[in-house]
Structure 1
Amino acid sequence: MKENQFSLTAIMCAYLRAYHAKYDEPKIFDDFLADQIIPDENRLLIEEGLTKHLQLKAPELAASLPDQATALKLVARAMNSRSILLSRSRYTEETLEAAIKQGTQQYVILGAGLDTFAFRRSDILVNLQVFEIDHPNTQNFKTQRIKELGWAVPTQLNFIPMDFTQESLDAALKKSSYNPQVKSFFSWLGVTMYLTREEVFATLRTIATIAPTGSRIVFDYFDIDIFDAQKTDTQIQEELAQVQAAGEPMKTGFDPSMLASDLANLGLHLHENLNQAEIQRRYLQGRKYAHIAQAVVK
């Protein structure tokens, strides 16, 4: 991320969640607040960019469409169909609900971005403390937007600024009311690919150390093959180039066949490791190189 810049991918993810909630059926994940949390000026920039992208990649198709709204609908649906954005959010909250029934009382959202959970899920917030951890620039952008909207911040919601490339999760949580004796649930979505392998492992090792036995973490990751031009299609390569140009380069992938042993060395047990076929079968979504994993503190 560039200095003093908030996460552009966080806003783009919120835009795609919002579009799905407003227009798509059947709904995989209904983030009905995502549309509100995106400032109008950012929404306009996104829509201009998507329209230009379609005009560049498929000029004849773009010219045949009656208006910008139709073009945006086409592009947004295509992007959602290729990503695990919606699937990973639904999987996480389904897993969290099950964990709460088993005694989980703390929910730590790593790289929260414009996540709306604490404002959207009052039904399960009553006995749950929520800790949103994100880069200070992105978190400041979000909290300012919440003030502009006049949303009341739930007493259970705690904001913790942290740069994963500079700080440790342990140090960040010690500054908050996080209780290391209470069973916790961690989500880490859309982040691991932007960090180094060492940074990812350092955070996972910290979770295994500070959270009690039975605590869980759900995270998504890219197959290491995504960074091999000989094994990926041109569209994937273009997407990698685009995020790098935006100042948020993707750096890391993992070998799915080695993940269980990698996590075991950190003190975590791999409970589930969904690949493309399994994600698509469960949620009708999927991307060839993306995976969702759930691990349990041993």
Structure 2
Amino acid sequence: MKDDRPSLTARGAAGHRAAHQRLEGGSVFDDPFARKILGAEGCAEADQRARDRGLRPLRLLIAARSRFAEAALAEAVAGGLRQAVVLGAGLDTFALRNPHAEQGLRVFEVDHPATQAWKRRRLIEEGLAVPPSLVFVPVDLERESLGERLRAKGFDAGAPAFFFWLGVVPYLTRDAILATLRFIARIPAGEVVFDYSEPLANYPPARRAGLQGLTERAAAAGEPMISFPEPAALAQDLRALGFDEVEDLDLSEISTRFLGGRKGRGRRAGPHFLRARRRG
């Protein structure tokens, strides 16, 4: 990550969300701020990359995971939850769109200070006001405690909380993943939504080659993908940490629920969307 730019992964995810608004009209996930926060130059780059038709499945998956996460949050808010944490927020725009602000939902955006500073400059450049419900929490997790930094910004560790954790897990070690999940599991009625990919060996050869290319490009850019959990082992880890409910959608279920895929195709190895909850 450069000191004055967000990470490659943050820019890439934002670019896919922005391109989705133009190419598919936000049909999977409508985000009216996606293109504005990325800016004209960023959008031009994203649109240029999107000419590669091979990237369409990834673009739609990124849109679908935001839809999945925000739908889960809406359920939690209906149940009384009033604080959400966006881990590795990047250029995510949920806090700008927060449909639950009138119900008192506070949104804590956690990210590396460099990425967060760049994002805040972009908000100023676009004339986008920081909503009163948004709290920025710059954290360098290699040197600072997530819990301490959140509490210093007004987060209540004794109250229910929802955590977005999208596009982050593959870039973390197993120890770092479990440490974050352990922190969330200690929160009464803590809930988290994240995405991950199975080990490459589980993929059929045709799709394995595509993921291998993605991992190689990420590594070449200095952001290697290093964690590919086995679904059964991950579920066991979550139960051991204290999560009572685990919903894990595989590629077939994601396709059926969000992308118009056919039912009954059976399990397909690939990316997963996971929601884990601890009862209060």
Gapped regions of structure 1 (runs ≥ 5): 51-71
Aligned match of 1:259 = 234
Shift of 1:135: 1.1
Match of 1:81 in 2: 57
Residue 277 of structure 2 is matched in structure 1 by 296
Q: In structure 2, which of residues 225, 228, 232 is the aligned counterpart of residue 250 of structure 1?
A: 225
CA contact 1:18–1:34 (8 Å) conserved in 2: yes
How many residue pairs align between the two structures? 271
**How far 1:2 moved relative to its partner?**
5.6
User: Matches of 1:46 and 1:101 in 2, distance apart?
Assistant: 35
Q: Does 1:203 align with 2:184?
A: no
> C-alpha distance in 1, partners of 2:27/2:206?
32
Equivalent position amino acid for 2:222 in 1:
G
Number of the residue aligned with 1:30:
30
- Whole-angstrom distance in 1 between the partners of 2:160 and 2:91: 25
Q: Is the 8 A contact 2:203 2:269 kept in 1?
A: no
* Cα distance, 1:2–1:195 mapped onto 2, change above 3 Å: farther
Residues 99-138 of structure 1 mapped to structure 2, 5 A cutoff = 99-121=76-98, 123-126=99-102, 127-138=104-115
Secondary structure of 2:31 counterpart: coil
SS of the aligned residue for 2:162 comes to strand
Cα 1:238/1:96, change in 2 over 3 Å? same
Match of 1:94 among 67, 71, 95: 71
Percent sequence identity is: 39
Cα-to-partner distance string for 1:141-192 (whole Å, 9 max, x where unaligned): 1011011111111111000012334433212212210012221111100001
Q: Cα offset for 1:238?
A: 1.2
User: What is the alpha-carbon distance in structure 1 between the residues aligned to residue 120 and residue 3 of structure 2?
Assistant: 19
Residue 170 to residue 26, structure 1, CA distance change in 2 (3 Å)? closer
CA deviations over 1:264-293 (Å, ceiling 9, x no partner): 222223420100000000011799421111
* CA offset digits 1:26-49 (Å, max 9, x no partner): 70101111101113333444556x
TM-score (norm 1): 0.83
Contact 1:80 1:86 survives alignment (8 Å): no
SS of the counterpart of 2:100?
helix
- More deviation in 20-29 or 88-97? 20-29
Equivalent position amino acid for 1:89 in 2 = S
Aligned to 2:265: none
**Which runs of structure 2 are paired with 1:227-242 in the superposition (5 Å)?**
233-242=208-217
Aligned equivalent of 2:195: 220
For 2:44 and 2:82, locate their aligned partners in 1 and report how far apart those are by CA, in whole Å.
Answer: 39
Task: Find 2:121's aligned residue among 144, 157, 163.
Answer: 144
Residue ranges of structure 2 left out of the alignment (5+ in a row):
262-267
Query: How far apart in 2 are the matches of 1:254 and 1:270?
Result: 18
Check whether the contact 2:18–2:46 (CA below 8 A) recurs between aligned residues: no
Deviates more, 1:232-241 or 1:169-178: 232-241
Instruction: Write the deviation string for residues 174-229 of structure 1: whole angstroms up to 9, x where unpaired.
Output: 221001222111110000100101001001101112x21x2311111111236999
Distance, in Å, in 1 between the alignment partners of 2:163 and 2:28 is 21
Structure 2: distance between partners of 1:226 and 1:15: 29
Q: Structure 1 149/227 Cα, relative in aligned 2: closer, same or farther at 3 Å?
A: farther
Q: Distance in 1 between matches of 2:201 and 2:113?
A: 29
| Cα deviation, residue 3, structure 1 | 6.0
Structure showing greater radius of gyration is: 1
Check conservation: 1:118, 1:125, Cα contact below 8 A: no
SS in 2 for 1:38: helix
